[in-house]
């Protein structure tokens, strides 16, 4: 009998979404399961006291062993970090050994009272996903293509021109079932459609894609519920806030996603146990209560996920990114997985979760997921590229996808039987996963042909798919899909219709807490801005020094007007810092928004509100330094009125540039938009051009410019003061009024309050528009696939292989002859770049960094964190050396140190190249370092990227044609020829897949 069959409960989950649960077979209260120790009277009395409490209060109380032999009653929502850590250590000492027994204890507790954990089955039928794209060079972003494509789209909308785009089939009529309590593995080569299938099941397909078919959860259409709350999609890209620690990242995810129906189920569980006089295990009871109480900044569920993912040693380390030192790439991948595991989702859709992980860590993670799926009735659909054999054996079902078609779907035990029926056999020492991904490839299929009595001919993916329909596993799958799902078996509480896991107020508290912590982590930026303002205030005060600022003539007024304009000018530029801070966080926001962590207004409101105190501090420093030093009107009320006006100007500027960042969504676009906005605002503020000088056809821009209202209000506040109240000879108007009229400003006092009101209105409108932009706009996507002008989807693979086969017979290499170093000769043995052989030796390499503040807060007393401890070794020429180690062991750190990429920290030891001390300037010219992070220019094609690298790195004597030949050689070696015209793309948007980017980088 299979493992998951041992955990079937005899009763169903509660009906109609209420707290009433139904029983089905026997009376679960007919006998007592209570196991008490007669000697432990004190413990029994404490538990009895908890049982006498009302249900709501009882769920917040638990018994915990605080010290050896002592048990005390604790308030579950107030468990501290140390208490949670001790609890998890008692429950799971060793993840490999204890996690299964821990989950079994939870399942046994639920089964004892006849509660059934709900299951989720997912079906997809006749899924077709197509995309439209221009072919060849028309797909590349250029000025010509941009305007031509826009013109064509307009004419197409008017039905005057047919579309020139070609159809690209990503998924081709795929059908199948993801069964509950089973681990399903999704296999397939890059660009086979794995990510698209997972996105389709999660309900997250791009709207630009043409989608047809049907996806049901427990027989219900996706429009009947909120799929993002039921399915947790874990993407390939690791998008996190680099300023947060691992614990904070996972805890915030758990806080936003909530606990789902866990609290109601626990309440029913406690009621039945009390009626049956059952005393649960105290530690299990404390864990389940702590994990079922939402609205906690850090819950015990966070500690559990950190433990099973092996992140305990870096739990309080910053996640980091390319610019901020943080955890390793493998650890960051585990954080991506843990972020979604922290929610109550029943369906796990995981896309390439093993990228950057060692095989041992991948095995442990998949094993933990298997235990959770089998014991707690979960559903998992996991995509892996090259799983190790032991990891492959953990899965129950296999889905093999190739060229957008399902080649096989069914039990893992029958997959080799199917391919043997087609004439292909997996060798004895060959990994089954590797065999499955190679057997459909034209270049690798022949080696597995087993029918020696028949001549081999290539079996296409279409032929495999058709043959699977007549295979007994395929027939059974068709019968299952033909049988309608019985909706009466569906638990009404499983498919929720609520958009968010917790109420809006709790989400707002969580986002306020997040924004406040980010402000603390980025305190350097705010301190730098304050120092910058003080320095500029001192400079401005010396330029417009009081002793030089006379108030006798209109010319003096014009100079003073420049002083107040300088203040407005500074606070308009002060908001530019919001561009970078908002733009860098947008990818993380889009991910969390699409996963329904929170609505956009919950994200935008704390950013606005918490920026107000910062504005008060910045303006206070500016006004205190400049107001009296510049000789402005000494009236204290006018001092306060200018203070208020500059605060509103600062807030308006910050809101404006947050809106620009939300609209642009990419740094190049936002920088261009911000520059344009500043030019328009300065040109129409009334100081550069007076109102009388603005053309009539452009006057509308003057009236909608927020800077105009700010400038009018600040000059009115100054020039209607007492120091400008005297009348010049031969005039009838006061000096201040004359100055205002000479520059076309308003002279009525009430225009100050109009300016204040207008700025308040602009602040509200700009923040509202920012919220709308965050709500409805999506990340800027690039072209994902490009079709060559003379190739179709089927030809790409075949032509790439044919080119490679032809290349083996006609390949040429370049070597420099000893007689003439400038002369290039060709050989017929393969591509060999000219280089000298070198060996690299390193001795007692030690690398350390300053101890992170987060670790010091946990009680660590050392000043430095040592990452490499006296490493000694050598790399010899002609010997291929593998650097191996678990994730986070220091592999990347060692390579960074050897390559000279570490610009911070403390490095000790010696590095020698062929016996000579390493000199970084020359070493960089003879070495090539392929980093773990794939950093490319996103708007270049694969061919252009490699050609640019060839121009930079090859010898200057190599001519242009030879460079191009080298690039073609490299593209064929790393199988990038079909992607020659494809854009590389950004990591956070669609472009090349991660595997293709890695191949491009290595090339």
221-249 confidence digits (pLDDT tens)? 888 889 988 999 998 888 899 999 999 99
pLDDT at 978: 67
Domain end (from 899, 925, 951): 925
- Tokens 């003061």 sit at which residue? 721
Per DSSP, 727 falls in state B
Single pTM value for the model: 0.80
Sign of the Cα pseudo-torsion (239, 140, 973, 841, in order): negative
Return the ∠ at Cα 177 (arms to 175 and 183), rounded to 5°.
Answer: 130
Complete DSSP assignment for 90-127: HH-SSHHHHHHHHHHHHHHHHHHTTPPPP---EEEEEE
Residues 483 and 558 in one domain: no
Comparing CA positions, the residue from 967, 988, 976, 985 lying closest to residue 141 is: 985
Closest CA to 571 of 540, 605, 528, 615: 615
When divided into structural domains, the chain yields a total of: 4
Q: In Å, what is the CA distance from 635 to each residue of 472, 706, 940?
A: 92, 26, 60
Report pLDDT for 861: 78
> Which of 891, 909, 925 represents a domain boundary (last residue)?
925
**Could you tell me which residues come within 8 angstroms of residue 361 by beta carbon, excluding any fewer than 6 positions away?**
310, 330, 334, 886, 887
Question: Which residue's structure tokens are 């843990």?
Answer: 338
- Cβ-count burial of 549 within 10 angstroms (0-12 exposed, 13-18 middle, 19+ buried)? middle
CA gyration radius, the chain: 34
Same domain flag for 417 and 352: yes
For residue 222, how far is the Cα from the chain centroid? Answer: 24
Collapsed DSSP state (helix, strand, coil) of residue 827? strand
Do 493 and 512 lie in one domain? The reply is no
> Is 273 part of a structural domain of the chain?
no
Q: Is the pLDDT of residue 726 over 50?
A: yes
Q: How many residues are given for the chain?
A: 1003
Question: How many Cα atoms sit within 13 Å of 514 on the Cβ side?
Answer: 30
Residues 414, 518: one domain?
no
In a domain, 111, yes or no: no
| H-only helix segments in 113-173 | 143-157
- Give the number of other CB atoms < 10 A from CB of residue 24: 10
Shared domain for 488 and 603, answered yes or no, is: no
| Residue 219 maps to a domain | yes
599-627 confidence digits (pLDDT tens): 999 999 999 999 999 999 999 999 999 99
Range in 55-59, 463-467, 508-512, 910-914 the model is least confident about: 55-59
Bridge partners of 215? 124
The predicted model gives 272-279 an average pLDDT of 85
The answer to whether residue 726 sits within a structural domain is yes
Q: Indicate the burial class of 812 (C-beta count within 10 angstroms; 0-12, 13-18, 19 or more).
A: middle
CB atoms within 10 A of CB 143: 7
Tell me how many degrees the CA angle 193-196-198 measures, rounded to the nearest 5: 110
Each residue of 289-315: pLDDT tens digit? 888 887 777 788 899 999 999 888 888
Mean pLDDT within 29-58:
63
Tokens found for residue 125: 């039928």
704 and 574 in one domain?
yes
- Domain-embedded: residue 625: yes
Torsion of CA 459, 462, 468, 470, to 10 degrees: -100
Q: Give the domain CATH number at 172.
A: 3.40.50.300
* Cα distance from N-terminal residue to C-terminal residue, the chain: 50
Give the list of residues 6+ apart from residue 888 with CB closer than 8 angstroms, or none.
313, 314, 327, 328, 330, 331
What would the mean pLDDT of 869-893 be, rounded to a whole number?
85
Rounded to whole angstroms, how far apart are CA atoms 103 and 547? 79
Strand partners, 888: none
Note whether 504 and 602 are within 8 A (CB). Answer: yes
**Where are the alpha helices (H) located in 575-633, listed in sequence order?**
577-594, 600-626
**What sign does the CA torsion over 71, 74, 76, 82 have?**
negative
Evaluate whether residue 483 is within a structural domain.
yes
For 71, the enclosing helix (H) or strand (E) is: strand 70-75
**Number of C-beta neighbours around residue 840 at 10 A:** 17
Looking at residue 590, its pLDDT comes to 93
Q: Which residue's entry shows tokens 């901020």?
A: 324
Instruction: List the structure tokens of 629.
Output: 């030093």
Cα 773-778-781 angle, rounded to 5 deg:
140
Full residue range of the structural domain in which residue 385 is found? 131-146+167-230+346-500
pLDDT band for position 13 (cuts 50, 70, 90): very low
> Pick from 724, 749, 776: which residue ends a domain?
776
Per-residue pLDDT reduced to its tens digit, 93-118? 888 888 899 999 999 999 988 888 88
The pLDDT of residue 829: 40
CA distances from 877 to 815, 837, 841, 884, 958 (A): 18, 6, 11, 19, 25
CA–CA gap between residue 482 and residue 403 (Å, rounded): 25
Helices (H) and strands (E) in the chain, counts: 36, 18
| CA 739/CA 525 separation, integer angstroms | 39
The separation between CA 416 and the C-alpha centre of its own chain, rounded to angstroms, equals: 37
Q: How high is the pLDDT of residue 66?
A: 66
> Do both 604 and 457 map to the same domain?
no
Of these ranges, 242-246, 917-921, 984-988, the one predicted with the greatest mean pLDDT is 242-246
Regarding whether 510 and 492 lie in a shared domain, the answer is: no
> Percentages helix, strand, coil for the chain, rounded to the nearest 5?
50, 15, 35
Q: Say whether both 919 and 971 belong to one domain.
A: no
Contact yes or no for 946/974 (Cβ under 8 A): no
d(Cα 926, Cα 838) in Å, to the nearest integer? Answer: 9
| Rounded (5°) CA angle 202-359-592 | 30
pLDDT per position as a tens digit, 668-714: 889 889 989 988 888 888 888 888 888 888 888 889 999 999 999 99
Structural domain includes residue 732: yes
Does one domain contain both 584 and 648?
A: yes
Q: Judge contact between 964 and 956, C-beta under 8 A.
A: no
Q: Give CA separation, 410 vs 186, 199, 415, 436, 749, in Å.
A: 11, 21, 7, 13, 80
- CA atoms of 743 and 520, how far apart (whole Å): 44
For residue 994, the model assigns a pLDDT of: 53
Is there a domain that residue 644 lies in?
yes
Q: What is the band of 67 on the pLDDT scale with cuts at 50, 70, 90?
A: low
Q: For residue 374, is pLDDT > 90? A: yes
Asked if residues 308 and 99 have their Cβ atoms less than 8 Å apart, the reply is yes
Q: Are residues 888 and 998 in the same domain?
A: no
* CB burial readout 293-314, b (16+ within 10 A) else e: bbbbebbbbbbbbbbbbbbbeb
Task: Report the distance separating Cα 828 and Cα 538, nearest Å.
Answer: 72
Over residues 979-995, the mean pLDDT reads 58
What tokens does 242 get? 């680099």
**Do 869 and 951 lie in a common domain?**
no
Q: In the predicted model, is pLDDT for residue 888 greater than 80? A: no
Q: Which of 454, 522, 723, 499 is nearest to 596 (CA)?
A: 499
């Amino acid at each position: 009998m299979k493992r998951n069959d041992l955990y079937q409960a005899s009763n169903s989950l509660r009906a109609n979404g209420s707290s009433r649960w139904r029983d089905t077979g026997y009376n679960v209260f007919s006998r007592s399961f209570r196991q008490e120790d007669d000697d432990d009277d004190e413990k029994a009395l404490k538990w009895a006291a908890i049982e006498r409490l009302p249900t709501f209060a009882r769920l917040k109380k638990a018994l915990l062993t605080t010290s050896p032999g002592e048990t005390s009653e604790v308030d579950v929502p107030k468990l501290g970090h140390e208490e949670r850590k001790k609890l998890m250590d008692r429950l799971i000492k060793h993840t490999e050994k204890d996690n299964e027994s821990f989950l079994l204890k939870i399942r046994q507790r639920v089964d004892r009272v006849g509660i059934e954990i709900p299951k989720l089955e997912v079906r997809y039928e006749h899924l077709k996903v197509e995309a439209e794209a221009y072919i060849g060079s028309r797909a590349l972003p250029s000025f010509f293509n941009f305007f031509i494509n826009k013109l064509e789209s307009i004419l197409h909308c008017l039905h005057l021109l047919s579309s020139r785009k070609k159809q690209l089939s990503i998924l081709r009529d795929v059908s199948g079932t993801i069964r509950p309590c089973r681990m399903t593995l999704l296999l397939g080569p890059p660009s086979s459609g794995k990510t698209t299938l997972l996105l389709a099941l999660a309900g997250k397909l791009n709207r630009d894609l043409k989608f047809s078919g049907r996806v049901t959860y427990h027989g219900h259409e996706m429009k009947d519920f909120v799929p993002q709350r039921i399915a947790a999609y874990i993407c390939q890209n690791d998008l996190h806030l680099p300023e947060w620690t691992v614990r904070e990242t996972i805890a915030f995810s758990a806080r936003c996603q909530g606990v789902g129906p866990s609290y109601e189920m626990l309440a029913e569980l406690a009621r039945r146990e009390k009626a049956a006089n059952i005393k649960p295990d105290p530690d299990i009871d404390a864990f389940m209560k702590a994990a079922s109480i939402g609205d906690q900044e850090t819950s015990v569920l966070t500690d559990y996920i950190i433990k099973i993912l092996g992140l305990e040693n870096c739990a309080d380390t910053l996640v980091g990114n390319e610019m901020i030192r943080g955890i390793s790439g493998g650890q960051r991948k585990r954080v991506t997985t843990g972020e979604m595991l922290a929610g109550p989702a029943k369906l796990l859709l995981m896309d390439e979760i093993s990228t950057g992980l060692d095989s041992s860590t991948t095995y442990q993670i998949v094993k933990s997921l298997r235990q959770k799926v089998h014991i707690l009735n979960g559903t998992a659909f996991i995509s892996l590229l090259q799983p190790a054999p032991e990891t492959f054996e953990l899965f129950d079902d296999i889905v093999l996808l190739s060229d957008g078609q399902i080649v096989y779907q069914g039990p893992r035990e029958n997959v080799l039987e199917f391919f043997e029926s087609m004439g292909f056999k997996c060798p004895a020492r060959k990994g089954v996963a590797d065999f499955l991904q190679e057997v459909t490839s034209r270049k690798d299929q022949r080696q597995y042909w087993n029918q020696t009595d028949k001549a081999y001919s290539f079996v296409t993916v279409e032929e495999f798919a058709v043959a699977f329909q007549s295979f007994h596993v395929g027939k059974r799958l068709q019968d299952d899909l033909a049988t309608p799902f019985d909706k009466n078996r569906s638990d009404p509480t499983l498919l929720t219709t609520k958009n968010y896991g917790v109420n809006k107020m709790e989400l707002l508290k969580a986002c306020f807490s997040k924004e406040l912590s980010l402000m603390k982590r980025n305190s350097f930026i705010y301190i730098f801005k304050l120092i910058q303002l003080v320095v500029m205030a001192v400079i401005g005060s010396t330029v417009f020094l009081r002793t030089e600022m006379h108030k006798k003539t209109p010319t003096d007024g014009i100079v003073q007007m420049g002083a107040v304009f300088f203040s407005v000018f500074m606070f308009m530029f002060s908001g530019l810092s919001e561009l970078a801070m908002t733009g860098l966080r947008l990818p993380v926001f889009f991910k969390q928004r699409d996963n329904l962590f929170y609505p956009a207004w919950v994200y935008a409101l704390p950013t606005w509100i918490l920026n107000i105190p910062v504005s008060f501090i910045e303006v206070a420093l500016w006004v205190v330094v400049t107001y009296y030093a510049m000789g402005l009107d000494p009236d204290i009320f006018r001092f306060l009125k200018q203070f208020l006006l500059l605060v509103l100007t600062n807030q308006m500027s910050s809101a404006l540039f947050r809106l620009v960042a939300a609209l642009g969504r990419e740094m190049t676009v936002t920088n261009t938009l911000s520059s344009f906005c500043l030019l328009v605002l300065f040109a129409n503020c009334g100081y550069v051009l007076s109102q009388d000088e603005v053309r009539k056809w452009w006057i509308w821009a003057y009236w909608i410019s927020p800077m105009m209202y700010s400038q009018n209000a600040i000059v009115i506040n100054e020039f209607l003061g007492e120091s400008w109240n005297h009348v010049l000879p031969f005039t009838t108007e006061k000096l201040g009024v004359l100055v205002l009229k000479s520059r076309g400003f308003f002279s009525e006092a009430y225009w100050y309050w109009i300016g204040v009101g207008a700025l308040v209105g602009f602040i509200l409108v700009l923040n509202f528009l920012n919220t709308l932009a965050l709500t409805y706009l999506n990340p800027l996507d690039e072209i994902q696939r490009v079709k060559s002008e003379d190739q179709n989807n089927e030809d790409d693979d075949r032509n790439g292989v044919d080119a490679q086969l032809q290349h083996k017979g006609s390949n040429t290499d370049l070597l420099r002859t000893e007689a003439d170093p400038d002369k290039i000769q060709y050989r017929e043995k393969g591509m060999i770049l000219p280089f000298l052989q070198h060996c690299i030796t390193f001795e007692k390499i030690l690398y350390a960094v300053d101890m992170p503040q987060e670790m010091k807060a946990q009680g660590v007393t050392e000043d430095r964190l040592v990452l490499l401890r006296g490493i000694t070794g050598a790399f010899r020429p002609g010997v291929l050396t593998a650097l191996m180690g678990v994730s986070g062991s220091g592999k990347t750190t060692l390579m960074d140190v050897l390559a000279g990429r570490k610009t911070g920290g403390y490095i000790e030891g010696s590095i020698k190249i062929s016996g000579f001390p390493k000199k970084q300037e020359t070493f960089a010219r003879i070495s090539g370092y392929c980093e773990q992070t794939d950093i490319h220019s996103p708007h270049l094609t694969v061919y252009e990227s490699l050609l640019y690298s060839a121009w930079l790195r090859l010898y200057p004597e190599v001519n242009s044609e030879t460079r191009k030949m080298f690039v073609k050689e490299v593209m064929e070696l790393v199988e990038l020829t079909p992607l020659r015209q494809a854009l590389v793309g950004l990591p956070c948007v669609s472009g090349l897949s991660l595997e293709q980017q890695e191949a491009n980088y290595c090339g």
